[in-house]
Amino acid sequence: MKKYQSLSDEKLVEITIKSDKQAYGELVNRYEKKLIRYANYLIKNEAKAADAVQNTFIKGFVNLRSFNKDFKFSSWIYRICHNEAINEAKKYSKEVKGENLIWDLFKGKSEQEPEKVGEREMQAQEVRNCIEKLPMKYKEPVALYYLEEMSYKEVADILRIPTSTVGVRINRGKVILKEILTEP
Amino acid sequence: MENIERSVMKKIESGEVRMKSKAYFIAGAILLGFGIGASLLAAAFFANIGFFRVFSAQRFGFRIIVLMITSLSAAVILLKNYDFSYKKDFGWLIGLIVVGVLLFGLLLSRTPINLKVKKVPQFRSLYENGQLPVSVQKRLMIITPKPALELFQPKQQEQLQQSEQPKEQQKLPNEPLEPQQDQEPQQHQEQEPQQNRRMLRPDKR
């Protein structure tokens, strides 16, 4: 698997389709934790999030030939994960409070990479504490932008909304977050 | 939690999960394009019937509008599968499509195509009373929820009452495309025996 570590996602997709299915394992390895974190956001259940991510990778493999090279693989796989997680969340709409993998994962990441702790990290810290209270409409773009550190375009591709709408929702989400923070 | 990578790769290697072929996606793209085209054509066709009815001094028809909106909605839903649906301003695109469909329908209604289509038994009811053919209605009755059907029921009853009335009353006013000259002799032929009967009655008495 080491031979694939230096290759880009899109190149790995090409290799998986053309010759070696093992290359897909590297893609799974790269996105597994990120997708679980994101799915857990939407489902709020670690086990269900893991199921959703497993289904995501299986669906991703089955439909790999439909992957459009004009897009980033990350946007494409996140889109599948988003749909899977939403479906899963609808099925099991009960909210599990207290059990929250996302914070642990994020905490771990921050400890491993202390050099990245900066303004953005501080913003993320604030966002993390209040993001759960946001309506789903704002939660999705805010989580992807601040916590998954994606660009507006990537968020737009995942949520299939215009880039301008992403900006509006993130800004509106920030305003709501501020209101939540200033609440007595 | 089981290792996701391991379980996914196990399924792939065992052949339990297989990649779909390129032909599958090409066929899907072709079908999608065909579906969009067919929905738009259907919407334009219904608009054409509506305009044709208006030019024949009838109303556009509630059912025609419903059918047109349904076809347009189907086209819009299918169009949403394309990436430009969220990259571009989709509202404008929908507006353009609606205007385009109405214009195309208007143009079609001014062509002689309706004279031919009107003669097809399946389409006659659409032109005459804006109603789908009976065979299609029966199929729709199975799949349409009851509240939606109730919307249509009062008008259906009216039509049933109308059908019980004499044929001459059913004929819609100002149907310019019907060759009226050909009908006149037939009407005379039908009326003559009645007149004869009336004339004969006093003699019988």
State the ipTM, two decimals. Answer: 0.71
Higher-pLDDT residue of A131, A167? A167
Q: How far is A179 from chain B (nearest CA, A)?
A: 30
Structure tokens given for A11: 């190149």
Nearest to B86 among A47, A66, A161 (CB): A161
Cβ contact, residue pair A57, B4, below 8 Å: yes
The SS3 assignment for B155 reads helix
Nearest to B5 among A29, A47, A61 (CB): A29
**Which residues of chain B does A22 touch, with a Cβ-Cβ cutoff of 8 Å?**
9
Please count the residues of chain B. 205
Of A81, A84, A57, A88, residue with least CA distance to A150? A81
| Segment A90-146, tens digit of pLDDT | 877 654 443 343 444 344 444 445 554 566 666 666 666 678 778 888 988 988 898
Q: Which pTM does this prediction carry?
A: 0.66
Position A143 scores a pLDDT of 87
Higher-pLDDT residue of A22, A112? A22
Structure tokens given for B95: 């507006």
pLDDT for A10 beyond 70: yes
Torsion region of B77: left, alpha or beta (phi above 0 gives left; psi -120 to 50 gives alpha) = alpha
**Which residues of chain A does B19 touch, with a Cβ-Cβ cutoff of 8 Å?**
17, 61-65
Cβ contact, residue pair B8, A64, below 8 Å: no
Cβ contact, residue pair A58, B87, below 8 Å: no
Spell out the alpha helix ranges (H) of A92-162. Answer: 101-112, 119-130, 136-142, 152-159
Residue B16: phi and psi, rounded to 5, are -65, -35
| A5 Cβ under 8 Å from any chain B Cβ | no
What is the helix, strand, coil percentage profile of chain A, to 5? Answer: 80, 0, 20
Q: What mean pLDDT, rounded, does chain A reach? A: 81
**Which residues of chain A does B21 touch, with a Cβ-Cβ cutoff of 8 Å?**
65
Tens place of pLDDT per residue across chain B (205 aa):
558 889 999 999 998 999 999 999 999 999 999 999 999 999 999 999 999 989 888 888 888 899 999 999 999 999 998 888 888 778 888 999 999 999 999 999 999 888 888 888 878 888 877 777 776 667 666 666 666 656 555 555 555 555 555 544 444 444 444 444 444 444 444 444 444 444 444 444 3
Q: How far is A54 from chain B (nearest CA, A)?
A: 6
Contact partners, residue B7, CB within 8 Å, separation at least 6: A54
| A22 Cβ under 8 Å from any chain B Cβ | yes
Position A118 scores a pLDDT of 64
Position A109 scores a pLDDT of 42
Position B195 scores a pLDDT of 45
Q: Residue type for B54, please?
A: V
| A162 Cβ under 8 Å from any chain B Cβ | yes
Convert B81-97 to b/e letters by CB count within 10 Å (16 or more is b): eeeebbeeeeeeeeeeb
